[in-house]
Structure 1
Amino acid sequence: VVTVPAYFDDAQRQATKEAGQIAGLEVLRIINEPTAAALAYGLDKGGQDRTVLVFDLGGGTFDVSLLEIGEGVFEVKSTHGDTQLGGDDWDQRVIDWLVKTFKDNHGVDLGNDKMALQRLKEAAEKAKIELSQVAETTINLPFITATADGPLHLEQKLTRAEFERMTEDLVERCKGPFDMAVKDWGKDVSAIDHVVLVGGSTRMPMIQELVKKLTGGKEPHKGVNPDEVVAIGAAVQAGVLRGDVKDILLLDVTPLSLGVETLGGIVQRMIERNTTIPTKKSEIFTTAADNQTQVEINVLQGEGETVQSPAVHSLGRFNLVGIPPAPRGVPQIEVSFDIDANGIVNVTAKDLATSKEQAMTITGGTALSKDEIDRMVKEGRVGRQGARG
């Protein structure tokens, strides 16, 4: 069982599944990290129904999910996020500050020195972690570089207050997805019973303060290590799939709307975001011109109204051919979307007059064919056997 950020799109999920196969793993299920976190906390225990907010800030991604849990059923009600925001961004601010300070003091730009940048990256992350516990830390990197006059050393004090000042816009960016998730859920934050923090970046005091402020002063659960909580939840879900764990049902959602392109580049939505999966939806479309014998289906994911919108991207295109010539608007073409329990999309187009159909599983972000994946799996197996032999 592999977990992914809740806000991963179809291509990212498919690529994750393929990576598992290439590594020689049989991927039984892909589940969303917040769902796994709620499973790990056993928040279904205790009889009454409850609402759980999962605030997940990892190294590179961020999402907020609201789940309703009762009698062993975990139902995701809404999810929102930013797959380009995470702890790495906080590190980068410290790196940029160190590079600028060093340049101001010594006239040397470390930004072009790969070796120095690697050391700065490690030091920035270490400082960030230390500032979750202490109010001030010293970054000390001897022999960071050298000039004609000899070696140069970097020694710089960083206070928690200064660190919070240089990253306050990143903290602000966490508010939008939180507000959207609550809005989609349709209730007030006062109805949230539990708050769960996931991901190492939630250890930062500024993030804990933000979550407390956004949830009206609720203290987050801190019983399980935020870095391990998701793995524990994945293990519970594996137990469910094997039949070792009973009385638990996961109802996850698709994080982004799905649809097709219609005349004039308009997005016709077929499955709205936050729909419980697995799910299936069909709609009837027709031709735009007389005697049209084929249609191109452009499968879209995202929240925009037109294909030009930056909030919409194409998952792929395929053609349904062999439609009998007829005046426009006469042929009936049924387009069906099917999302499986992993959140992976299958699309079918069928001409109802001839029963001809064309199907497409949206292939991964890696764009690897099944043959290529099989070949890489085989090569991996041979490599592992060689290493053992």
Structure 2
Amino acid sequence: MLIGIDLGTTNSAVAIWRDGRSQLVPNAHGDFLTPSAVHMDTSGKVSIGAAALDRLADDPANTATSFKRHMGTQRSTSMGGKAWNAEELSALVLRSLCDDVEAFVGARPVEAVITVPAYFNDRQRKATRRAGELAGLTVRRLINEPTAAALAFGLQDKSDREPFLVFDLGGGTFDVSIVEMFEGIVEVRASAGDNRLGGDDFNAALASLARPRADPQGVLDGLAQNRREAVLLRAAEKARRALTQAGEVEFAFTLGEQTYATRVTESEFEAAVEGLLRRLRDPVVRSLRDCGMDPAELSDIVLVGGATRMPVVRRAITRMFARFPNSTVHPDHAVALGAAVQAGLLARDAALEEVRITDVCPFTLGIDVAERDAHGAMVDGLFSPIIERNTPVPVSRMGRYHTMGDNQKKIELNIYQGEARLVADNIRLGQLSVPVPPRPAGEISVDVRFSYDSSGLLEVDVSVPETGLTRNLVIVDEEDRRDAREMEKRREALARLKFHPREDAVHVALMARAGRMYEDHIGELRQMIGHWMTAFAGALESQDLRRIAEARTMLEARLEELEGPAIL
């Protein structure tokens, strides 16, 4: 059985694709949301979900929450005398969700689609996949959370939709994706996000605001730090949720028989989180910029994630876009429902035969290079992008590089993922060494081709034109590497993309036609055709398929207007 899982920072949910639709699976309490919390007592007994969350205030030392924020890191949590990392804790939550599915349908799931924040990097995605494996699942696909939400939103009526923005603010992460739907194709145009921004941060801001007033004597200072934080954040969570319904609420916590409380107004809370609200803007601007879109071109702003229920967030979104957002999808359920749609697609369900989904590369992929500064000094450790972020996948891109030193005998290529200028601030994915003939600096070139698919397979091909030597490196999860047949199939799909757009027969023919017309005309017309050819050549060099398609359509139209349709 293949299931869809929303592995969230605050809550998780699971859904199945059955009878032509997504269906949420209830847990043992009859709820569709399971708190992403784990507790272990001194005897080693583990509690998951609501039972674990109930122990946070009185036994925080043995309770773990918000561990999704530490996926892909070395950080561990000590519980029951044992150190647990984020993927192990996540595996316990995933196993609990599988128990719920088994109780609901009578069969144990063995495969899953698991959602991740769009801005999760390679390490975080691999850690999520390992969490699924630890839970006994074969992870068929990791799908970006806003993409999953877009599936849930877009398949309500399966009608075409102009580009819309999915605004996904959860408990620990923030993502935005710009999505378009036409003729059954769900196309992600761009994604951006902030992995350190979510409801938890709004809780912390509210706790900082209310604590001095609720506890002027500093009674909380006598508590251990982890218990003090647990008491404050639990009170803040309760008060923040209450602020969605009222303009003024009580922030209160109890120690022993004494209750400490203060009143907090919505305007005070809004002032306290002003910096967080400003941070919501940057990923929105980046995603719009990356796909060359104006906010006015968006047909909808779709809200996803429990934290979007906050009135202060909804007002900020309304001000940002000068219109009200769309809240027709359930903010807590949409991601799991969309994951189940993806599961249905992978299972080739007949109800989804006409649906296709395309996604984008969330981070830029490139290599480290060296450059000479204005004084001729060598500056190394610089990042040279090959596949830019928000490029539609699957994709293949090539860059040409040259030797920097005289008689250089090899080129060391270090592959990175990230956006920073210095590779030290990005994530290293692998390394490839290529021997080159010793020649004067700059005389030897290497072509570096990156090919990347929606499942995270990155294939690096390096060739030395002067010698014909080639080298290949495949960067993939170890679990994927074990399935040789599936790996070969994915590599064959990428191989079909490994040519430069200027080599495409259609483009060659179009440039040949333009070249002939350039020869046939003189004066201003010849000059104009030359400019058209230069513009189209620039589009081809960009290797951006959308830009190339637009430039091709424009050049064809101009040539036909000038001399009529091509004569076959």
- TM-score interval, normalised by the smaller of the two chains: 0.7 to 0.9
Number of the residue aligned with 2:368: 261
Q: CA deviation at 1:167?
A: 1.1
> Is it true that 1:357 corresponds to 2:471 in the alignment?
yes
SS in structure 2 at match of 1:24:
coil
Return 59-68 or 101-110, whichever deviates more. Answer: 101-110
Number of the residue aligned with 2:309: 203
The structure whose Rg is larger is 2
SS in structure 2 at match of 1:256:
coil
Distance change in 2, residues 1:230/1:152 (3 Å): same
SS in structure 2 at match of 1:40:
helix
Number of the residue aligned with 1:136: 248
Whether the 8 Å contact between 2:360 and 2:393 is mirrored in structure 1 is: yes
Distance change in 2, residues 1:125/1:346 (3 Å): farther
* Mapping 1:208-247, distance limit 5 Å: 208-222=314-328, 224-244=329-349, 245-247=352-354
Distance change in 2, residues 1:93/1:19 (3 Å): same
Number of the residue aligned with 2:429: 316
Aligned residue pairs, count: 358
Q: CA deviation at 1:17?
A: 1.9
SS in structure 2 at match of 1:170:
helix
Number of the residue aligned with 1:378: none
> Is it true that 1:9 corresponds to 2:121 in the alignment?
yes
Whether the 8 Å contact between 2:166 and 2:303 is mirrored in structure 1 is: yes
Q: CA deviation at 1:110?
A: 5.6
Q: CA deviation at 1:230?
A: 0.5
TM-score, normalization by structure 2: 0.58
Whether the 8 Å contact between 1:294 and 1:323 is mirrored in structure 2 is: yes
SS in structure 1 at match of 2:235:
helix
SS in structure 1 at match of 2:285:
helix
SS in structure 1 at match of 2:139:
coil
Which of 440, 460, 463 is 1:347 aligned to? 460
* Bigger share in helix: 2
Counterpart of 1:202, as a letter, is: T
Deviation string for 1:293-314 (max 9, x for gaps)? 3222122333344446xxx513
Deviation string for 1:65-122 (max 9, x for gaps)? 1111111111111222111111110111122234433553346526744323212222
Distance change in 2, residues 1:346/1:96 (3 Å): farther
Counterpart of 1:184, as a letter, is: D
Number of the residue aligned with 1:170: 276
Tell me how far apart the structure 1 counterparts of residues 415 and 176 of structure 2 sit (CA, whole Å).
26
Deviation string for 1:206-233 (max 9, x for gaps)? 11112222222134132x3211100100
Number of the residue aligned with 1:379: none
Number of the residue aligned with 1:180: 286
Return 9-18 or 32-41, whichever deviates more. Answer: 9-18
Tell me how far apart the structure 2 counterparts of residues 351 and 111 of structure 1 sit (CA, whole Å).
65
* Mapping 1:1-389, distance limit 5 Å: 1-43=113-155, 45=157, 47-102=159-214, 104-106=216-218, 109=221, 112-143=224-255, 152-222=258-328, 224-244=329-349, 245-263=352-370, 264-265=379-380, 266-307=382-423, 312-352=425-465, 353=467, 355-361=469-475
Counterpart of 1:160, as a letter, is: E
Return 83-92 or 299-308, whichever deviates more. Answer: 299-308
Distance change in 2, residues 1:134/1:218 (3 Å): closer
Whether the 8 Å contact between 2:180 and 2:186 is mirrored in structure 1 is: yes
Tell me how far apart the structure 2 counterparts of residues 204 and 176 of structure 1 sit (CA, whole Å).
19
SS in structure 1 at match of 2:282:
helix
Tell me how far apart the structure 2 counterparts of residues 10 and 339 of structure 1 sit (CA, whole Å).
13
CA-atom RMSD in angstroms: 2.7
Q: CA deviation at 1:194?
A: 2.0
Deviation string for 1:237-288 (max 9, x for gaps)? 1111111021111111112222112123333221122100111122332322
Tell me how far apart the structure 2 counterparts of residues 108 and 126 of structure 1 sit (CA, whole Å).
18
Give the unaligned 5+ runs of structure 1. 145-150, 364-368, 374-389
Number of the residue aligned with 1:380: none
Distance change in 2, residues 1:316/1:111 (3 Å): farther
Whether the 8 Å contact between 2:214 and 2:252 is mirrored in structure 1 is: no
Distance change in 2, residues 1:59/1:107 (3 Å): closer
Tell me how far apart the structure 2 counterparts of residues 333 and 113 of structure 1 sit (CA, whole Å).
55
Counterpart of 1:236, as a letter, is: V
Counterpart of 2:276, as a letter, is: L
Tell me how far apart the structure 2 counterparts of residues 124 and 227 of structure 1 sit (CA, whole Å).
20
Distance change in 2, residues 1:285/1:118 (3 Å): same
Whether the 8 Å contact between 1:318 and 1:360 is mirrored in structure 2 is: no
Return 258-267 or 49-58, whichever deviates more. Answer: 258-267
Tell me how far apart the structure 2 counterparts of residues 349 and 19 of structure 1 sit (CA, whole Å).
33
Whether the 8 Å contact between 1:99 and 1:110 is mirrored in structure 2 is: no
Counterpart of 2:331, as a letter, is: P
Tell me how far apart the structure 2 counterparts of residues 315 and 275 of structure 1 sit (CA, whole Å).
20
Give the unaligned 5+ runs of structure 2. 1-112, 371-378, 483-568
Whether the 8 Å contact between 2:359 and 2:392 is mirrored in structure 1 is: yes
Q: CA deviation at 1:329?
A: 3.3
Deviation string for 1:166-200 (max 9, x for gaps)? 11221111112212222223233222212211111
Q: CA deviation at 1:23?
A: 2.1
Tell me how far apart the structure 1 counterparts of residues 129 and 196 of structure 2 sit (CA, whole Å).
20
Tell me how far apart the structure 2 counterparts of residues 34 and 257 of structure 1 sit (CA, whole Å).
19
Whether the 8 Å contact between 2:302 and 2:325 is mirrored in structure 1 is: no
Number of the residue aligned with 1:366: none
SS in structure 2 at match of 1:28:
strand
Tell me how far apart the structure 2 counterparts of residues 47 and 103 of structure 1 sit (CA, whole Å).
55
Return 176-185 or 251-260, whichever deviates more. Answer: 176-185
